[in-house]
Amino acid sequence: MGNLTKKAILVVSFGTSHEDTRKVTIDAIEETIGAAFPQYRIYRAWTSKMIIAKLKKRDGIIIHTVKEAMEQMLLDGITDVIVQPTHVINGIENDQMKADALSFRDRFSSIVFGNPLLTTEEDNQAVVQAVAGEFQDMDQETALVLMGHGTEHYANSVYAALDYRFKDMGHKNIFLGTVEAYPALDSLLRAADSFQPKKIVLAPFMIVAGDHAQNDLAGADPDSWMNRLSSEGYEVTPVLKGLGEYPQVRQILVEHVQQAMNASI
């Protein structure tokens, strides 16, 4: 009988120092997963050591790294762990998170991993629908420009694939680029230019609307996406809403937990 209490879901996020976006993204994802699997204990870990250090110093808030969370679960008598990342892609953060968790492989009965948000073709399709649904009131003369993070990791190719998939699924006015890799804003400007939108809505394609959204996307710097698009003559409206705020995106992560459970049986 006592077995039920020994299972846990560790929800792993990059993290954010912005409390307002954290509440409606990371917290909301954890609550949605907890509600879907009430027989599991929910734990949190973040992968950004910089953000963890900042929160500790600034707010006195202690957030576990993956390794610290694994230690805590051992102390709490957890035997079986499902690790569910809120990462968008299978990139560097996700690889490191797996390595950290698997260093505890011998101390738990089982450790299984749920997939990041964009892993399968079904995920890509579901995310396109979630985003298009969120902005369905946009008229056809307005373009939605989404800012992804981007990475040097080969998983970065998912961004260009998803940009193509938006068009392929009939959303010719949705463009996805990245801050740190390809497709960069220059590519998007060329694509948007050929579309010739009257207005542009700019939104983060990241789980939280944190530093990147507030600085690179909508910041005062002349190089921010908002200012660069404005200087091209577009009327730009930023929408600082992280993907974690979209109910359909949270649902995809719940399904990834379920898939991990099914795989571990």
C-alpha distances in Å from residue 137, one per residue of 87, 131, 236: 28, 12, 16
Six token digits for residue 149: 């993070």
Q: Are 216 and 179 in contact (CB under 8 A)?
A: yes
Q: Are the beta carbons of 237 and 200 closer than 8 angstroms?
A: yes
Which residue out of 64, 87, 149, 171 is catalytically annotated?
A: 149
Catalytic annotation on 212? no
Quickly list H helices, 103-223.
121-134, 157-168, 185-195, 211
Strand 199-204, strand 7-13: pairing: unpaired
Q: 235-238 and 80-85 as β-strands: parallel, antiparallel, unpaired? A: unpaired
What residues are labeled active site? 149
